[in-house]
Structure 1
Amino acid sequence: MPLPWLHLTVMEVGSASEVGAERVGAMVERAREALKGWSAVTVNLGRVLYHPEAIVLAVEPDGGLDGLREGVQGATAEVLGKDFAQEGDLWSPHVTLAYSTAVQPAAPVIATLGRRLPGCEVTIRAVTLIDQRGPERDWDWHPLATVNAVR
């Protein structure tokens, strides 16, 4: 995965065209209010997780980004109400390193990478709302707004 595309998805809402410009604007304003005064969060990436379609690094400690996510979810739910289907407690924060583009045995990859890489501390200093157009792997991202940490 090229460095500019590394990201950590906090939640998915739908396309900006489905949500509508007015509600996108309202979501951004509510998120700014909900996250007003939030501090940057430092997490660690190192534990390797394997998915049939990807290799990812888990965010540690568990729950380290829950407050940030709850703020974003709450702001979104205020605006979208019943139209917004929350993802529940199944969120597993991670950073994707690579996607699989073919069916292949996992054992050689797991044997090479193992279950843990040297830890990498990462500080989350901003949350960006993006409009992703087209298939996920085309990475046609269009930032709509960013909320920065204040400290």
Structure 2
Amino acid sequence: MTTHPETMRNHWWWRPGWSVGRRFHTWHLTFEGQEDVHRLAAEYRSALASLGEVLTPIPDRWLHLTMQGIGFVGEVEETDVRAVADAARRRLADVPAFGLRIGPEVIDPEAVLLHVHPDGPVREVRTAIRAAIGDVFGPGQVPETAEGFTPHVSVAYSSG
């Protein structure tokens, strides 16, 4: 991730396995009712509006911090999804509540991102979620790698 890419690329490119209408089970932290986050995102949407269709702003209801994927709908049994949720509920009960600071912005080739600080508690939540997935699928069967995770909230996606 760079703070000054020379070119942007389309965030909406087709990733392997994806097609129109295909859905993926994913854990997100969301920001429902978090007015400070919504205000900050609105400031960025306003500042970026003059760029037109180059960036797709993310509305408040879709602001999120992607934590961990589970698998494509239809490829993961719903009973397994529920079992992962139950295992995560048990594991996350031990994680204390925490506050976050969001920002500063980073211009990624695919998005305008806001880094999240401190990232330790977010990583602890992700570790618990990954362990819950491992509880259900087996420790070596957790999708995605643990490495390379950079907690952030996107405020706009690049259209290319």
TM-score (norm 1): 0.62
Partner AA of 1:24 in structure 2: V
* Structure richer in strand, relative to its length: 1
Q: What is the CA deviation profile of residues 71-113 of structure 1, one whole-angstrom value per residue up to 9, with x for unaligned ones?
A: 11100111112432342221001000001112xxxxxxxxxxx
1:19 aligns with 2:106: no
* Structure richer in helix, relative to its length: 2
1:72-91 equivalences under 5 Å are 72-81=129-138, 82-91=140-149
Contact 1:13 1:84 (C-alpha < 8 Å) held by counterparts: yes
Q: Work out the CA distance in 2 between the residues paired with 1:33 and 1:86.
A: 22
Mark the runs of 5 or more structure 1 residues left unpaired by the alignment.
103-151
Contact 2:69 2:143 (C-alpha < 8 Å) held by counterparts: no
Contact 2:130 2:142 (C-alpha < 8 Å) held by counterparts: no
Which residue of structure 1 aligns with residue 151 of structure 2?
Answer: 93
Q: Which runs of 4+ in 1 moved over 6 A?
A: none
What's the offset of the Cα at 1:56?
0.4
Q: Work out the CA distance in 1 between the residues paired with 2:66 and 2:110.
A: 16
1:50 aligns with 2:79: no
The Cα RMSD (Å) is 1.5
Q: Work out the CA distance in 2 between the residues paired with 1:16 and 1:35.
A: 24
1:68 aligns with 2:128: no
Q: What is the CA deviation profile of residues 40-96 of structure 1, one whole-angstrom value per residue up to 9, with x for unaligned ones?
A: 221111111121111100011232312111111100111112432342221001000
Contact 1:53 1:100 (C-alpha < 8 Å) held by counterparts: yes
User: Using a 3 Å threshold, how does the CA distance of structure 1 residues 26 and 57 change in structure 2: closer, same or farther?
Assistant: same
Contact 1:73 1:86 (C-alpha < 8 Å) held by counterparts: no
Which residue of structure 2 aligns with residue 115 of structure 1?
Answer: none
1:120-131 equivalences under 5 Å are none
Partner AA of 1:42 in structure 2: G
Q: Work out the CA distance in 1 between the residues paired with 2:121 and 2:91.
A: 17
Q: Work out the CA distance in 2 between the residues paired with 1:63 and 1:33.
A: 20
SS of alignment partner, residue 59 of structure 1? strand
Percent identity between the two aligned chains: 33
What's the offset of the Cα at 1:37?
4.3
SS of alignment partner, residue 106 of structure 2? strand
Partner AA of 1:92 in structure 2: T
Which residue of structure 2 aligns with residue 131 of structure 1?
Answer: none
Contact 2:113 2:156 (C-alpha < 8 Å) held by counterparts: yes
